Amino acid sequence: MITDTTQWPSPAKLNLFLYITGRRANGYHELQTLFQFIEQGDEISITANQTGQITLSPDLEGVSTEDNLIYKAAMALKPFADAEYGADIHIDKKLPMGGGIGGGSSNAATVLVALNFLWKLGLSEDQIADIGLNLGADVPVFTRGYAAFAQGVGEELHRAEPEEKWYLVVRPNVAIATAEIFNHPDLHRSSPKRALSTLMNTPYENDCEKIVRMLYPEVDKQLSWLLQYAPSRLTGTGSCVFAEFSSYQDALSVFDRLPEEVSAFVTQGKNTSPLFETLAKYNLAYNLSI
């Protein structure tokens, strides 16, 4: 066990496109989507110990510790660890909840990857992904750490290499529940299934965008504003929207025109997760120290 306090990024993601291709008998939706990480994210500090306990700070308003995905992720690894293995986990929360950028799923994935390393469990990428899938459909893309084309209900992942563009991400002051959008009777659920090569060379769209814009005027307003300057879309089921640019300066110039009260940031797309860049550094550091 490594008992040093370690710092881990928990990056956000964008759905560069999202198409709903059908609905299964159990209610789950078939989809095709392209995930890419961004540099922006939460920061998680972990100190492994031998107390046998998992502690989490600070408390997340409206969410009990037992219901927090971070705690659930740590507890999901406990059966693979010695009984006395524990950890003190602290999160510096920067990503908005209900924003469609994967904050909770990323948090869970970061804890799975970090504790597998710190507790020296030796679980494989596939094992970690399987554990993550039980926590949430988006968790495996974060545990695998590469930009991915997802199919099925999101569990079929294939490595992808979209251009690492610069993005202006804007978060309207609303939180949107995924279930609300996926259960809406007017959601478009019949997009044709297409090959990734075709989708990569077709203008990107999000089938959830029409419903979200109809239900949430704040999202509609922000998207309309961004579309004046660059190709812009909803990510996931929202509420975050993003505009894409070829350079940092181009993104920054539009950022500077935003009204002061708008929550937004400029970031770059990453096809390799910052989490795995950190894991590689820790692997190198601790291998050298042995």
For helices 69-77 and 125-135, the axis angle rounded to 10 degrees is 140
Q: Distance from CA of residue 8 to its chain's centroid? A: 15
Q: Which of 42, 138, 207, 250 is catalytic?
A: 138
Q: Are strands 166-171 and 241-245 parallel, antiparallel or unpaired?
A: antiparallel
Nearest to 170 by CA among 100, 102, 106, 250: 100
Residue 38's SS3 state is strand
Number of H helices, E strands in the chain: 10, 10
Q: Is 258 within 8 Å of 264 (Cβ atoms)?
A: yes
Whether residue 13 lies in the annotated active site: yes
Angle in degrees, CA 151, 184, 155, rounded to 5: 15
- Helical spans, DSSP H, in the chain: 69-77, 103-118, 125-135, 139-144, 178-182, 196-200, 209-215, 217-226, 248-255, 274-289
User: Could you give the CA distance from residue 115 to residue 127 in angstroms, rounded to a whole number?
Assistant: 13
Whether residue 138 lies in the annotated active site: yes
User: Could you give the CA distance from residue 155 to residue 146 in angstroms, rounded to a whole number?
Assistant: 14
User: Could you give the CA distance from residue 240 to residue 233 in angstroms, rounded to a whole number?
Assistant: 9
Could you tell me the sign of the dihedral formed by the alpha carbons of 24, 32, 207, 194, in that order? Answer: negative
Annotated active-site positions, please? 13, 138
